[in-house]
Structure 1
Amino acid sequence: MELSIKQSGVLHRMLSGTAISIGIIIFGILLNPFNFHSNLTLLEKSSVLFKSLIILALCLTFSIGRLAKHRFFSPDELDEKGLRTDSDRAILLQSLLQNTLEQSVLAAFVYGTWTFVMPSAWLSVVPLAALSFALGRVLFFAGYRRGAVGRALGFTMAFYPSVLMLICTVCFLPLSAVTVGC
Protein backbone atom coordinates (compact mmCIF):
# COMPACT_ATOMS: atom_id res chain seq x y z
CA MET A 1 0.00 0.00 0.00
CA GLU A 2 1.40 3.33 -1.04
CA LEU A 3 0.87 6.29 1.26
CA SER A 4 -0.41 9.62 0.03
CA ILE A 5 1.74 12.72 0.45
CA LYS A 6 -0.43 13.76 3.40
CA GLN A 7 -0.16 10.32 5.03
CA SER A 8 3.60 10.37 4.54
CA GLY A 9 3.80 13.80 6.15
CA VAL A 10 1.75 12.67 9.14
CA LEU A 11 3.79 9.48 9.48
CA HIS A 12 7.06 11.43 9.37
CA ARG A 13 5.87 13.76 12.15
CA MET A 14 4.49 10.85 14.18
CA LEU A 15 7.85 9.10 13.99
CA SER A 16 9.58 12.33 15.03
CA GLY A 17 7.19 12.65 17.97
CA THR A 18 7.82 9.02 18.89
CA ALA A 19 11.59 9.56 18.85
CA ILE A 20 11.23 12.69 21.00
CA SER A 21 8.99 10.82 23.45
CA ILE A 22 11.36 7.86 23.74
CA GLY A 23 14.24 10.31 24.15
CA ILE A 24 12.43 12.12 26.97
CA ILE A 25 11.88 8.90 28.88
CA ILE A 26 15.40 7.56 28.36
CA PHE A 27 16.94 10.96 29.17
CA GLY A 28 14.81 11.30 32.31
CA ILE A 29 15.59 7.79 33.55
CA LEU A 30 19.27 7.48 32.70
CA LEU A 31 20.50 11.03 33.22
CA ASN A 32 18.03 12.21 35.88
CA PRO A 33 18.53 15.88 34.88
CA PHE A 34 16.67 17.21 37.93
CA ASN A 35 18.85 15.07 40.24
CA PHE A 36 16.05 13.38 42.14
CA HIS A 37 17.34 11.06 44.84
CA SER A 38 16.22 7.47 45.12
CA ASN A 39 14.70 8.00 48.57
CA LEU A 40 12.24 10.86 48.06
CA THR A 41 9.40 11.16 50.52
CA LEU A 42 5.77 11.06 49.46
CA LEU A 43 5.59 14.83 50.04
CA GLU A 44 8.63 15.47 47.84
CA LYS A 45 7.24 13.28 45.07
CA SER A 46 3.87 15.01 45.34
CA SER A 47 5.54 18.40 45.03
CA VAL A 48 7.20 17.40 41.75
CA LEU A 49 3.93 15.99 40.43
CA PHE A 50 1.85 19.07 41.27
CA LYS A 51 4.45 21.46 39.85
CA SER A 52 4.34 19.45 36.62
CA LEU A 53 0.53 19.43 36.59
CA ILE A 54 0.56 23.23 36.68
CA ILE A 55 1.92 23.12 33.13
CA LEU A 56 -1.07 21.05 32.00
CA ALA A 57 -3.42 23.40 33.83
CA LEU A 58 -1.89 26.39 32.04
CA CYS A 59 -2.47 24.74 28.66
CA LEU A 60 -6.05 23.95 29.57
CA THR A 61 -6.62 27.48 30.94
CA PHE A 62 -5.27 28.96 27.71
CA SER A 63 -7.66 26.82 25.65
CA ILE A 64 -10.66 27.75 27.77
CA GLY A 65 -9.68 31.42 27.69
CA ARG A 66 -9.40 31.50 23.91
CA LEU A 67 -12.91 30.16 23.46
CA ALA A 68 -14.32 32.42 26.18
CA LYS A 69 -12.67 35.48 24.60
CA HIS A 70 -14.05 34.56 21.20
CA ARG A 71 -17.57 34.13 22.54
CA PHE A 72 -17.39 37.39 24.52
CA PHE A 73 -16.36 39.40 21.48
CA SER A 74 -18.87 37.67 19.18
CA PRO A 75 -22.31 38.97 20.22
CA ASP A 76 -24.15 36.32 18.19
CA GLU A 77 -22.34 33.59 20.10
CA LEU A 78 -22.47 35.16 23.53
CA ASP A 79 -25.91 33.95 24.52
CA GLU A 80 -28.12 30.98 23.71
CA LYS A 81 -27.91 31.33 19.93
CA GLY A 82 -24.24 30.40 20.14
CA LEU A 83 -25.10 27.02 21.58
CA ARG A 84 -27.04 26.08 18.48
CA THR A 85 -25.05 27.63 15.64
CA ASP A 86 -21.40 28.22 16.41
CA SER A 87 -19.20 30.00 13.93
CA ASP A 88 -16.33 28.14 12.29
CA ARG A 89 -13.94 29.93 14.67
CA ALA A 90 -15.90 28.80 17.75
CA ILE A 91 -16.00 25.23 16.45
CA LEU A 92 -12.23 25.33 15.88
CA LEU A 93 -11.56 26.69 19.37
CA GLN A 94 -13.95 24.12 20.89
CA SER A 95 -12.08 21.34 19.08
CA LEU A 96 -8.76 22.59 20.42
CA LEU A 97 -10.20 22.82 23.92
CA GLN A 98 -11.70 19.33 23.73
CA ASN A 99 -8.44 17.80 22.57
CA THR A 100 -6.48 19.67 25.24
CA LEU A 101 -8.90 18.49 27.92
CA GLU A 102 -8.64 14.87 26.79
CA GLN A 103 -4.86 15.00 26.65
CA SER A 104 -4.64 16.76 30.04
CA VAL A 105 -6.78 14.18 31.80
CA LEU A 106 -4.76 11.28 30.42
CA ALA A 107 -1.45 12.99 31.20
CA ALA A 108 -2.52 13.84 34.76
CA PHE A 109 -3.44 10.23 35.51
CA VAL A 110 -0.26 8.88 33.93
CA TYR A 111 2.03 11.44 35.58
CA GLY A 112 0.44 10.66 38.94
CA THR A 113 0.83 6.94 38.45
CA TRP A 114 4.44 7.30 37.31
CA THR A 115 5.22 9.50 40.30
CA PHE A 116 4.08 6.94 42.85
CA VAL A 117 4.91 3.65 41.13
CA MET A 118 8.26 4.23 39.46
CA PRO A 119 11.58 4.70 41.29
CA SER A 120 12.16 8.21 42.65
CA ALA A 121 15.35 8.55 40.63
CA TRP A 122 13.19 8.30 37.49
CA LEU A 123 10.96 11.20 38.50
CA SER A 124 12.64 13.60 36.05
CA VAL A 125 10.50 12.00 33.36
CA VAL A 126 7.38 13.71 34.76
CA PRO A 127 8.47 17.37 34.40
CA LEU A 128 10.16 16.56 31.08
CA ALA A 129 6.90 15.05 29.79
CA ALA A 130 4.98 18.09 31.04
CA LEU A 131 7.34 20.41 29.15
CA SER A 132 6.90 18.27 26.04
CA PHE A 133 3.15 18.48 26.58
CA ALA A 134 3.26 22.29 26.62
CA LEU A 135 5.46 22.52 23.54
CA GLY A 136 3.27 19.93 21.83
CA ARG A 137 0.15 21.96 22.56
CA VAL A 138 1.75 25.09 21.11
CA LEU A 139 2.72 23.21 17.95
CA PHE A 140 -0.71 21.57 17.75
CA PHE A 141 -2.51 24.93 18.04
CA ALA A 142 -0.19 26.59 15.53
CA GLY A 143 -0.56 23.79 12.99
CA TYR A 144 -4.22 22.95 13.47
CA ARG A 145 -5.55 24.89 10.47
CA ARG A 146 -3.01 23.18 8.20
CA GLY A 147 -4.68 19.84 8.76
CA ALA A 148 -3.35 16.53 9.99
CA VAL A 149 0.20 17.14 8.80
CA GLY A 150 0.31 20.51 10.55
CA ARG A 151 -0.84 19.20 13.90
CA ALA A 152 0.74 15.71 13.96
CA LEU A 153 4.04 16.58 15.65
CA GLY A 154 2.33 18.69 18.30
CA PHE A 155 -0.19 15.96 18.97
CA THR A 156 2.47 13.29 19.36
CA MET A 157 4.66 15.45 21.61
CA ALA A 158 1.76 15.81 24.04
CA PHE A 159 0.24 12.33 23.69
CA TYR A 160 3.07 9.86 23.13
CA PRO A 161 5.04 10.58 26.33
CA SER A 162 1.86 9.77 28.27
CA VAL A 163 1.31 6.56 26.31
CA LEU A 164 4.92 5.41 26.69
CA MET A 165 4.94 6.30 30.39
CA LEU A 166 1.72 4.32 30.85
CA ILE A 167 3.21 1.30 29.09
CA CYS A 168 6.41 1.54 31.17
CA THR A 169 4.40 1.82 34.38
CA VAL A 170 2.21 -1.17 33.55
CA CYS A 171 5.31 -3.22 32.69
CA PHE A 172 7.07 -2.09 35.88
CA LEU A 173 4.16 -2.98 38.21
CA PRO A 174 4.95 -6.74 38.37
CA LEU A 175 8.59 -5.91 39.09
CA SER A 176 7.69 -3.52 41.90
CA ALA A 177 5.38 -6.14 43.45
CA VAL A 178 8.26 -8.63 43.52
CA THR A 179 10.57 -6.04 45.09
CA VAL A 180 8.01 -5.15 47.78
CA GLY A 181 7.41 -8.83 48.52
CA CYS A 182 11.13 -9.57 49.12
Structure 2
Amino acid sequence: MDPRTIDLRREISGVRTGAAKGAALCIGLLLASYFVLPSFFFFPRDLVGALAFTLQVDLFVLSWVMVGVGLVSHARRQSTQDIGGSAFGTPSEDIRIKIAFLQNTLEQAVIAIGTHVVFSTLVSGDALSLVVAAAFLFGVGRIAFYRGYPRGAAARAFGMVTTVIPGLLAFVASIVLMVLRAVSG
Protein backbone atom coordinates (compact mmCIF):
# COMPACT_ATOMS: atom_id res chain seq x y z
CA MET A 1 0.00 0.00 0.00
CA ASP A 2 1.25 3.42 -0.90
CA PRO A 3 1.02 5.68 2.20
CA ARG A 4 0.19 8.63 -0.05
CA THR A 5 -3.08 6.97 -1.09
CA ILE A 6 -4.34 6.04 2.38
CA ASP A 7 -7.30 7.96 3.77
CA LEU A 8 -6.15 7.95 7.40
CA ARG A 9 -9.53 8.78 8.94
CA ARG A 10 -11.24 6.04 6.98
CA GLU A 11 -8.50 3.57 7.86
CA ILE A 12 -8.72 4.41 11.58
CA SER A 13 -12.49 4.03 11.45
CA GLY A 14 -12.03 0.64 9.82
CA VAL A 15 -9.49 -0.37 12.46
CA ARG A 16 -11.96 0.53 15.21
CA THR A 17 -14.75 -1.44 13.55
CA GLY A 18 -12.52 -4.49 13.00
CA ALA A 19 -11.20 -4.26 16.54
CA ALA A 20 -14.71 -4.06 18.01
CA LYS A 21 -15.80 -7.12 16.01
CA GLY A 22 -12.70 -9.04 17.11
CA ALA A 23 -13.20 -8.10 20.75
CA ALA A 24 -16.88 -9.11 20.61
CA LEU A 25 -15.99 -12.48 19.10
CA CYS A 26 -13.33 -13.07 21.76
CA ILE A 27 -15.56 -12.18 24.70
CA GLY A 28 -18.45 -14.23 23.32
CA LEU A 29 -16.36 -17.30 22.56
CA LEU A 30 -14.43 -17.16 25.84
CA LEU A 31 -17.67 -16.94 27.83
CA ALA A 32 -19.35 -19.69 25.79
CA SER A 33 -16.31 -21.94 26.18
CA TYR A 34 -16.24 -21.47 29.94
CA PHE A 35 -19.90 -22.42 30.29
CA VAL A 36 -20.16 -25.11 27.57
CA LEU A 37 -16.85 -26.99 27.28
CA PRO A 38 -16.82 -28.33 30.87
CA SER A 39 -20.03 -30.21 30.06
CA PHE A 40 -18.17 -32.20 27.41
CA PHE A 41 -14.57 -32.36 28.65
CA PHE A 42 -12.75 -32.93 31.90
CA PHE A 43 -10.12 -30.30 32.72
CA PRO A 44 -7.25 -31.07 35.11
CA ARG A 45 -7.58 -29.86 38.69
CA ASP A 46 -3.93 -30.18 39.77
CA LEU A 47 -1.01 -27.89 38.89
CA VAL A 48 1.01 -30.42 36.93
CA GLY A 49 -2.06 -31.54 35.00
CA ALA A 50 -3.04 -27.93 34.25
CA LEU A 51 0.46 -27.11 32.99
CA ALA A 52 0.67 -30.25 30.86
CA PHE A 53 -2.77 -29.59 29.42
CA THR A 54 -1.92 -25.97 28.57
CA LEU A 55 1.38 -26.90 26.93
CA GLN A 56 -0.41 -29.50 24.83
CA VAL A 57 -3.11 -27.01 23.78
CA ASP A 58 -0.44 -24.44 22.96
CA LEU A 59 0.98 -26.79 20.37
CA PHE A 60 -1.84 -25.38 18.21
CA VAL A 61 -0.54 -21.85 18.81
CA LEU A 62 2.98 -22.98 17.95
CA SER A 63 1.67 -24.57 14.76
CA TRP A 64 0.91 -21.05 13.44
CA VAL A 65 4.58 -20.15 13.78
CA MET A 66 5.34 -23.24 11.72
CA VAL A 67 2.77 -22.15 9.12
CA GLY A 68 4.51 -18.77 8.90
CA VAL A 69 7.94 -20.39 8.54
CA GLY A 70 6.53 -22.64 5.83
CA LEU A 71 5.03 -19.71 3.91
CA VAL A 72 8.32 -17.80 3.96
CA SER A 73 10.41 -20.87 3.15
CA HIS A 74 8.20 -21.84 0.22
CA ALA A 75 8.16 -18.29 -1.14
CA ARG A 76 11.97 -18.06 -0.92
CA ARG A 77 12.36 -21.23 -2.97
CA GLN A 78 10.11 -19.78 -5.70
CA SER A 79 12.01 -16.52 -6.21
CA THR A 80 15.47 -15.79 -7.54
CA GLN A 81 15.42 -12.49 -5.63
CA ASP A 82 14.61 -14.20 -2.32
CA ILE A 83 16.34 -17.58 -2.47
CA GLY A 84 19.59 -16.16 -1.13
CA GLY A 85 17.96 -15.10 2.12
CA SER A 86 17.19 -11.81 3.79
CA ALA A 87 20.83 -11.00 4.51
CA PHE A 88 21.58 -10.72 0.80
CA GLY A 89 18.94 -8.37 -0.54
CA THR A 90 15.64 -6.61 -0.20
CA PRO A 91 12.71 -9.04 -0.06
CA SER A 92 10.51 -9.20 -3.14
CA GLU A 93 6.87 -8.08 -3.09
CA ASP A 94 5.84 -11.75 -3.10
CA ILE A 95 7.49 -12.50 0.24
CA ARG A 96 7.11 -9.26 2.23
CA ILE A 97 3.64 -10.02 3.58
CA LYS A 98 4.68 -13.56 4.46
CA ILE A 99 7.68 -12.25 6.40
CA ALA A 100 5.51 -9.69 8.21
CA PHE A 101 2.99 -12.45 9.03
CA LEU A 102 5.73 -14.71 10.37
CA GLN A 103 7.28 -11.96 12.49
CA ASN A 104 3.95 -10.88 13.95
CA THR A 105 2.86 -14.48 14.54
CA LEU A 106 6.09 -15.25 16.37
CA GLU A 107 5.65 -12.18 18.58
CA GLN A 108 2.02 -13.03 19.33
CA ALA A 109 2.82 -16.72 19.97
CA VAL A 110 5.39 -15.79 22.62
CA ILE A 111 2.83 -13.60 24.37
CA ALA A 112 0.03 -16.15 24.03
CA ILE A 113 1.99 -19.18 25.20
CA GLY A 114 3.60 -17.24 28.04
CA THR A 115 0.31 -15.88 29.34
CA HIS A 116 -1.45 -19.23 28.93
CA VAL A 117 1.24 -21.00 30.96
CA VAL A 118 1.22 -18.44 33.77
CA PHE A 119 -2.60 -18.43 33.80
CA SER A 120 -2.63 -22.23 34.09
CA THR A 121 -0.43 -22.05 37.21
CA LEU A 122 -3.11 -19.94 38.88
CA VAL A 123 -6.31 -21.75 37.84
CA SER A 124 -7.50 -25.31 37.37
CA GLY A 125 -10.54 -27.24 36.29
CA ASP A 126 -13.20 -25.49 34.24
CA ALA A 127 -11.16 -22.27 33.91
CA LEU A 128 -8.74 -24.17 31.66
CA SER A 129 -11.48 -24.16 29.01
CA LEU A 130 -10.42 -20.56 28.45
CA VAL A 131 -7.01 -21.77 27.25
CA VAL A 132 -8.73 -23.94 24.65
CA ALA A 133 -10.80 -20.99 23.44
CA ALA A 134 -7.73 -18.75 23.42
CA ALA A 135 -5.80 -21.20 21.22
CA PHE A 136 -8.76 -21.49 18.85
CA LEU A 137 -9.08 -17.69 18.68
CA PHE A 138 -5.35 -17.44 17.97
CA GLY A 139 -5.89 -19.53 14.84
CA VAL A 140 -8.94 -17.54 13.75
CA GLY A 141 -7.00 -14.35 14.32
CA ARG A 142 -4.00 -15.51 12.33
CA ILE A 143 -6.11 -16.50 9.34
CA ALA A 144 -7.96 -13.18 9.34
CA PHE A 145 -4.74 -11.20 9.84
CA TYR A 146 -2.99 -12.92 6.93
CA ARG A 147 -5.96 -12.60 4.59
CA GLY A 148 -6.47 -8.94 5.49
CA TYR A 149 -2.83 -7.88 5.38
CA PRO A 150 -2.66 -6.88 1.71
CA ARG A 151 -5.69 -4.59 2.17
CA GLY A 152 -4.28 -2.49 5.01
CA ALA A 153 -4.64 -1.85 8.72
CA ALA A 154 -8.44 -1.82 8.73
CA ALA A 155 -8.53 -5.24 7.08
CA ARG A 156 -5.92 -6.60 9.52
CA ALA A 157 -7.55 -5.22 12.67
CA PHE A 158 -10.10 -8.00 13.25
CA GLY A 159 -7.38 -10.64 12.99
CA MET A 160 -4.94 -8.74 15.14
CA VAL A 161 -7.44 -8.10 17.93
CA THR A 162 -8.76 -11.66 17.80
CA THR A 163 -5.19 -12.87 18.25
CA VAL A 164 -4.29 -10.41 21.02
CA ILE A 165 -7.35 -10.19 23.29
CA PRO A 166 -7.20 -13.71 24.81
CA GLY A 167 -3.54 -13.29 25.76
CA LEU A 168 -4.16 -9.81 27.12
CA LEU A 169 -7.06 -11.08 29.23
CA ALA A 170 -4.95 -14.00 30.50
CA PHE A 171 -2.20 -11.52 31.42
CA VAL A 172 -4.58 -9.25 33.34
CA ALA A 173 -6.35 -12.18 35.01
CA SER A 174 -3.00 -13.64 36.07
CA ILE A 175 -1.89 -10.38 37.66
CA VAL A 176 -5.22 -10.02 39.48
CA LEU A 177 -5.07 -13.61 40.71
CA MET A 178 -1.46 -13.20 41.89
CA VAL A 179 -2.32 -10.01 43.77
CA LEU A 180 -5.36 -11.65 45.36
CA ARG A 181 -3.25 -14.60 46.47
CA ALA A 182 -0.59 -12.32 47.89
CA VAL A 183 -3.15 -10.25 49.79
CA SER A 184 -5.05 -13.26 51.16
CA GLY A 185 -2.02 -15.43 51.81
Indicate conservation of the 8 Å contact 2:76/2:83, yes or no.
yes
The equivalent of 2:60 in structure 1 is 55
Residue 95 and residue 176 in structure 1: after superposition, are their counterparts in 2 closer, same or farther (change >3 A)? same
**How far 1:78 sits from its partner (Å)?**
1.3
User: C-alpha distance in 1, partners of 2:85/2:32?
Assistant: 50
Letter in 2 for 1:157: T
The equivalent of 1:89 in structure 2 is 94
Q: Secondary structure at the match of 1:103?
A: helix
> Structure 1 runs of 4+ off > 6 angstroms?
none
Indicate conservation of the 8 Å contact 1:36/1:123, yes or no.
no
The equivalent of 2:178 in structure 1 is 173
Residue 81 and residue 21 in structure 1: after superposition, are their counterparts in 2 closer, same or farther (change >3 A)? closer
Indicate conservation of the 8 Å contact 1:139/1:151, yes or no.
yes
C-alpha distance after superposition, 1:66-90 (max 9, x if no partner) = 0000111212321258632211222
Q: Secondary structure at the match of 2:45?
A: coil
Letter in 1 for 2:76: R
Does 1:102 find its partner at 2:107? yes
Aligned residues between the structures:
176
TM-score, structure 1 normalization: 0.87
Indicate conservation of the 8 Å contact 1:25/1:165, yes or no.
no
User: C-alpha distance in 2, partners of 1:80/1:108?
Assistant: 28
TM-score, structure 2 normalization: 0.85
Query: Percent identical across equivalent pairs?
Result: 27
The equivalent of 2:13 in structure 1 is 8
1:6-155 alignment runs, 5 A limit: 6-29=11-34, 31=35, 33-34=37-38, 35-36=41-42, 40-79=45-84, 83-155=88-160
Q: Unaligned stretches of 5+ in structure 2?
A: 1-7
